[in-house]
Structure 1
């Protein structure tokens, strides 16, 4: 029996590589002879660099940068030689993600993507001219002001004073002055891994859809939305391009809009891009089962997340899919979508903190996978 193991990360607990390994160990506990193919996945958020770099035989680079509140930290990205040339693989979550700021410290109005800009600048200095950027898991809503500032662009208010890049500065922005590297940066190719289609502003835009989960109050959400509208007016006036209504421009607090306007970025589905790089469809040809999963499966999972991307491809190949998760909502929706089974890995009631500990999550994944394999063997080994 050939089983493909293709999970997303269990956020806050396990990377997709660690999750795949735990599932594989559980399956081997029950059947040492099964053929297992581990394909850790991501959709543009946390774990995207690891997932893509592994398939491109890339070099991992660690640099000093800053988190959304400008505190020093280190972050990783990858550099690979591809058909397009020297390529940097970067995820915004590495330096601008929710995981880089404690829950008590989160301040969306003060947060900036400056740290991600430092990563891009480092890759540019290493002669990377092709960039794959994952737009998931950000703690920011600054429409890329931080990235632009890190790349040498000047952010000015109506009095010509330089603004500190942040969500709060969006409303004060009057002009963005080009970097001295502007022409060279515009000649670079940016491909965005993005699995949301939200516009920049409005009720389905960046602030109203995503800012609350980043800690924004209702009043701050209103202020951020007004700021994004102001950013859009400034960019449309100065660049002669209006990207606000383009699908995906609201991703990662408006980063989709910034990359589209300043660098003519191409948006691709993150999970589709990773599946292509992984050769997932080729592996499906002789597979008997796919096991996927993520930390929580809910309504967001149904709209473009890793398990649904895996399911789409597997259904075309008529291969059944089982999903494992720490918490499950809308289970009947996954049944209707075509999942052969969705299983919680929690064996008993525990606190969320305990459930999300790495050792606990790994042990529970392994145990649940072993039980599933024993059930499969009971029906196939007669």
Structure 2
């Protein structure tokens, strides 16, 4: 690997002081335009690249924000990143994004790396393993070193930091209520997020809606995407279902495929509602009724809060911002 060019190397090459080279690269008014041009030309020829961490030592800022997400394959998190990138760029920040792959150990490694490269703040959605074990020491370590942290979507209220979540309870309650209002009597709930805060809130919202319907009984299936079709097939054999709510977009698609293999039609025999209003939901046949999670809005809000905390002169008490969902009616459900 070639040796990196430093300010000292440029200064020696041009027989100028390091201070002059530094000021020229920073467009200081103290340096003449001819000298600036000389220095910048040499810097390019010598393949000099400024070190963000070194700049940060002087300003105590690197203008970078660390982001940790549990799953990049999930359309929801991809859309959150789009919102984050837009808001960060607008405010002069760059993102360093890590994927924990639902692993607590990988989450710890990501936080350590982001801390080591001196990001100005960290924005994180917790892994299912972190939420299942409720291990939070590594999260509190970040706060101990005065690094602002914002949780989004999957948050833990035992950690004293700001968070941005959607109203998962309300979203599931509205979805189940809509299904009952269309004449469905046996509404089931399929969860691939049983070990997460969002999954638990969606289950609670569903159960609350069921409890308001006379004669209705909760019918819940916990599964994983890898075994969903087999597990749902068995579930349908044992339970009379005329509607199903799933906790994400992919499981809604898998569920509709399984329902068809059982000789049933969507939505005539079984209505289906999923969470996350992504490309799959809009373009599948029939198009999927979804609980829209406002992913890009959540991403922008998380960055906004992180930057506000970076610039705050005094620490404020942690706050949680709740974003309301929207039920998007399409063709996988009966009409009112």
Normalising by structure 1, we get a TM-score of 0.29
When you count helix as a share of all residues, which structure comes out higher?
2
